[in-house]
Structure 1
Amino acid sequence: MVRTIRTCSLGLAGALILAAVPAEARVTTFVRSGASTFVAAQAAANAGDARRAAMLYASLAAAEPGNRTIANRALAQAILAGDMPLALRLARATPGADLAPDARLLLLADDLRERRPPSALAAGWPDELGFVTPFVRAWTLSERGKRRDALAALDNVARDNLLAPLVPEHKALILLANWKAKEAQAFIPTALGRAGGRGDRLRILFASGLLRAGSRDAALALLRGRDVTLAAAATQLSAQRRPDFPAVTAAQGFGELLSGLAVLLNQSERSALPLSIVQVARFSDPANEQTAILLGLLLAGSDRSDDALAVLRRVPDSSPLASEARDAEIRTLLRAERRPEALARAQAFVAGARVTADDWSRLGDVFDAMARHGEAADAFANAARLTDAGGPGPERWSLYLLRGASLEQAGRWTEAEKSLEAAHALAPDNPVVLNYLGYARLERGVRLDEAEALIAEASRRAPDDASITDSLGWAQFKRGKLPEAIATLQRAAAADPGQAEIHEHLGDALYTAGRLYEARFAWSAALVTAEDDVRKRIEAKIAAGLTPTTAAP
């Protein structure tokens, strides 16, 4: 069974805000050899240093004004770096037909920011920008007070348009921008149902528009629940009689649209395109803090941790989204193997005046990543105390589960079992809780009938979860149900071929059944992804067969 690992509770939904030095300062570097500059620019781009790559490519483009390949590379890297003054200068010097989609979106964002007619749409690029055209028209019409025409433009979005799922969201926003709270409410449930990780941002956005229009009860209803972000927003908005609504202009609406597009693309597109689009989204609406968080996550995913941290740390502690920004910051530091720094930051968060359960839980995550399991358990216990007292935060069962898991890994089984049982009492039907408690007992050889029953129930409730299927197969193996165990473990291995633990379990079961060749094949598959501390055990089994000392725990 794979250990429960808490992940940061955000969904991708934001973009850049890198402070750009003046464009002139970025393109005046003198390099003797054009060839060496080109090689250096490529190397910088490959290393993820978009800022240096843009500067070097731009210097080459200045020396060779007719070289469109170099100019486009400079433009692409400038957008990735968030150097919009340089990117705009390069884009304006490039014929429209030669511009990549992200550059065209940047010019469009600049027009909307400056409240100019969208030249990108009038310049003969409808094929390239057709998927955004109805949304841009809608927002420009809305900005001019033509609400009905704006909604009619969104009615023209084709069903096969990538952005079609965002139509209800933008209808609601346009109606709220025009003070039409009652009409907007008809679209809000559908919009939230499609929001994914952008749900908190949209709830806050819709709530501020409803409250501004006088629909206070409907606004606050959107913010109910245990979530720290929503609780902070509810407190903040409740204190305001008529808050600002940060989605009134066409540029703000376009920034929201591009954030949604980046999220959709990031689900299937692992290129630099989502990052470029998020940079443009941030340029279009620099005040969108959720876009900043998304930018930070995408920068971190591109191994630009320093740039990511600079963006994330600009989200103020007073923001309702501060907890999401902190989650993203700690995730970035852990991804970059900067664990002492992650610990220092997480400890600083819990030392603050308005510490939340999320802050303590985040500290627990860091201790867990550092294998300091006893301290992780204490942090999760502090988080649970706050939620037990009625404060916002993660679900109570999840905190007791995390505390129990940490105590178990710290070798404190008696305490761990009590915490896991508390999680089970709070969430008796949750397959993760059922599986963890059952597997922990199975590993220790205690209360085996109950352990197998718990895991079987977890598998019944989550039949497609390969880790839980693996637990069930291993329970069957431990109980001597060998043919049944092999069939179950084979099903788990087929569902998740990359999980070493499943293949090791399958190999042990096959070897016990006398199917030695198949067992070694399964163990060899486990070696592909096994951690170092497990590899030696598996290698010993491949070499000499299964023994009591090399059996999986």
Structure 2
Amino acid sequence: MALTTRTCSLVFALALVAAVPASAASGRERVDFLRSGAATFVAARAAADAGDARRAAMLYASLAAADPGDGTMAQRALSQAILGGDMPLALRLAGQKPLPDLPVEAQLLRIGEGLRTRTLDKQLTREFPQQIDFMGPFVGAWHLAERRRWKEAVQLLDRVAADAPLAELVPEQKALILLAAGRSAEARSLIQPALAAARGRSNRLRIAFASGLAANGDRDAGLALLAGRDSTLRQAAAVLAAERKPKPLIATSAQAYSELMTALAASLDGEDNRTLPLSVAQVARYADPRNEQASLLVGLLLDRSGRENDALAVLRSVPDASPFAGEMRDAEVRALLGADRKEEALARARAFVAGDDVQAIDWLRLGDVLDAMDRHSDAAVAYGGAAAAVQAGGAGPEPWSIHLLRGAALEQAKMWPQAESALELAHRLAPENALVLNYLGYARLERGQKLDEAEAMIAEASRRAPDDASITDSLGWAQFKRGKVTEAIATLQRAAAADPGQAEIHEHLGDALYTAGRKYEARFAWNAALVTAEDHVRARIAAKVAGGLLPATAAP
């Protein structure tokens, strides 16, 4: 298949360059031109396929310059330039066509440039191209707001239909406009609805609303929005408390547009188009370079597309003093782990706990890296550092979650007495938490300890989280261990239907089916487990497929 695609691309390239007028070259020069044009096209396609959008954009742009009459290469160059964050090239190419004739991402970029430089055509504040007309009311409202026509700005947003794209962002945009206008009393009622719709942007919006309230003289109300255990909010609160004259984080049309683009990129993520979310996130970052949430999203999307070096460059561009530095560091370390650069990830995680202001999040990050490297006892030590940091009053997650992580690491390190102690502490701190109930109950079940209590814990966990396939699996396995085979099969089948990709569930189901004499169905379940099973359990499952269930091959 790859060979066929490459051949077709070359044929297409030759057809493109063959369309160059005869006046452009003759004889040997024309042959050389055709060869170089084909080679450039193939190189551009290869760069695009490899995720090197900047190089692809430059190569496509050179082809477009060689044949100005053919817009195909220019459009490819434009899309790749935006994807790669080369906005000077993208804007140069986008300026060669009317706005409605551009691809969506280029239309959004042109508008972002106009807002950033305050050169946006006034006509666009009233009439947008059809593909992006849903942006019109938002941009128009900020156009009015910047001219102190606050009431008209809010009224324009009030007219956005409830089923329109980005309609759920109307409360946040109205609140930001009102805060920029110094009308905090009217903005307050919009803050909670805005935060409810923010999803992954909630910290960013909390900081924006807090800065707006503080800028209007209500610093206490702003700090109240930043209260809690979250390290990002704690850092933002410290900055806000120290500022002599707080300024709103989002107070211009370009900043508001960047926020809208960030939300749009996040909403597009998961759709069939894999490149558009990144392009839109790049536009958000360009419209407001200080939008760290946009930088984080760009880094995450670059990493997901296999461009970890570009992702790392973006993630490392945020200053250490930023409230979002912790989230950036988390994403950086995950990118390194995902690229199997574990030693680099470990070095970075260790560097972060060697600083002056070490927080629980830094110890947790180190623990996660060590756990991913199967250094479980070392991970438990790092998680212990996180617990100590929180106990000392620092920012961080609820203590029970840290003790659960520490207990899980100790169990993986085969240090069960210490693990049980940590898990029991987590249970005392959060006696009704389904994750804690399930983990402690299952660990005891595997060891044949306190079986009545273990089964009761897992049953309670399942009652509290009935849709969690892993907990349903634990319940089925507990039933099987207690001799309730028929009941166990029904429970395990429910778990397998809820999460068909989890090997452990299929292995448990196979063991239960085989014990019930349903050997053909058991082998079907075991084969399903083999599809996703990790290396250290594959041999055990394969042995059951070949020879049936034996005491030596039973799941623990």
TM interval, shorter chain, is over 0.9
- Counterpart of 2:72? 69
- Counterpart of 1:107? 110
Does residue 295 (structure 1) correspond to residue 334 (structure 2)? The answer is no
Q: Tell whether the 8 Å contact from 1:60 to 1:70 is kept in structure 2 after alignment.
A: yes
Report the number of matched residues. 524
- Counterpart of 2:191? 188
Unpaired segments ≥5 residues, structure 1: 1-29
TM-score, normalising length from structure 2?
A: 0.92
- Counterpart of 1:321? 324
- Counterpart of 2:45? 42
**Could you say if the C-alpha distance between residues 450 and 122 of structure 1 is closer, same or farther in structure 2, counting changes exceeding 3 Å?**
closer
Alignment of 1:148-547 (within 5 A): 148-269=151-272, 271-547=274-550
Is the deviation greater in 88-97 or in 302-311?
88-97
Q: Tell whether the 8 Å contact from 2:115 to 2:253 is kept in structure 1 after alignment.
A: yes
Q: Tell whether the 8 Å contact from 2:125 to 2:140 is kept in structure 1 after alignment.
A: no
Q: Tell whether the 8 Å contact from 1:472 to 1:488 is kept in structure 2 after alignment.
A: yes
Structure with more contact order per residue of length (Cα contacts < 8 Å, sep ≥ 6): 1
Q: Tell whether the 8 Å contact from 2:445 to 2:451 is kept in structure 1 after alignment.
A: yes
Q: Tell whether the 8 Å contact from 1:37 to 1:56 is kept in structure 2 after alignment.
A: yes
Does residue 134 (structure 1) correspond to residue 131 (structure 2)? The answer is no
**Could you say if the C-alpha distance between residues 538 and 241 of structure 1 is closer, same or farther in structure 2, counting changes exceeding 3 Å?**
same
- Counterpart of 2:19? none
TM-score, normalising length from structure 1?
A: 0.93
2-side partners of 1:69 and 1:177: how far apart? 43
Q: CA deviation at 1:31?
A: 9.7
Q: Residue 359 of structure 2 aligns to which amino acid in structure 1? A: T
2-side partners of 1:398 and 1:456: how far apart? 20
Q: CA deviation at 1:152?
A: 1.0
Q: CA deviation at 1:70?
A: 1.1
Q: Tell whether the 8 Å contact from 2:128 to 2:135 is kept in structure 1 after alignment.
A: no
Q: How big is each residue's C-alpha offset from its partner over 1:346-381, in whole Å with a ceiling of 9 and x where there is no partner? A: 000000000000000100000000000000000000
2-side partners of 1:135 and 1:183: how far apart? 19
SS at match of 1:549: helix
Is the deviation greater in 119-128 or in 467-476?
119-128
1-side partners of 2:340 and 2:209: how far apart? 38
Q: Residue 57 of structure 2 aligns to which amino acid in structure 1? A: A
Unpaired segments ≥5 residues, structure 2: 1-32
Q: Residue 249 of structure 1 aligns to which amino acid in structure 2? A: T
1-side partners of 2:142 and 2:276: how far apart? 24
Q: Residue 526 of structure 2 aligns to which amino acid in structure 1? A: W
Does residue 549 (structure 1) correspond to residue 552 (structure 2)? The answer is yes
The structure with the largest alpha-carbon Rg is: 2
Q: How big is each residue's C-alpha offset from its partner over 1:85-116, in whole Å with a ceiling of 9 and x where there is no partner? A: 00001111134343110000000111111112
Q: How big is each residue's C-alpha offset from its partner over 1:57-100, in whole Å with a ceiling of 9 and x where there is no partner? A: 11111111122211111111000100000000111113434311
Q: Residue 375 of structure 1 aligns to which amino acid in structure 2? A: D
Q: CA deviation at 1:122?
A: 7.1
SS at match of 1:522: helix
Q: How big is each residue's C-alpha offset from its partner over 1:492-550, in whole Å with a ceiling of 9 and x where there is no partner? A: 00111111111111011000100011011111111111112222211111111111121
Q: CA deviation at 1:144?
A: 1.4
- Counterpart of 2:6? none
Q: Residue 197 of structure 2 aligns to which amino acid in structure 1? A: R
SS at match of 2:424: helix
Q: Tell whether the 8 Å contact from 1:31 to 1:37 is kept in structure 2 after alignment.
A: no
Q: Tell whether the 8 Å contact from 2:146 to 2:252 is kept in structure 1 after alignment.
A: yes
2-side partners of 1:46 and 1:207: how far apart? 43
Q: Answer 1 or 2: which has greater helix percent.
A: 2
**Could you say if the C-alpha distance between residues 252 and 31 of structure 1 is closer, same or farther in structure 2, counting changes exceeding 3 Å?**
farther
Q: Tell whether the 8 Å contact from 2:400 to 2:426 is kept in structure 1 after alignment.
A: yes
Q: Tell whether the 8 Å contact from 1:121 to 1:129 is kept in structure 2 after alignment.
A: no
Q: Once superposed, what is the RMSD of the aligned Cα atoms?
A: 1.4
Q: Tell whether the 8 Å contact from 1:104 to 1:120 is kept in structure 2 after alignment.
A: no
Is the deviation greater in 403-412 or in 67-76?
67-76
Q: CA deviation at 1:126?
A: 3.2
2-side partners of 1:391 and 1:123: how far apart? 50
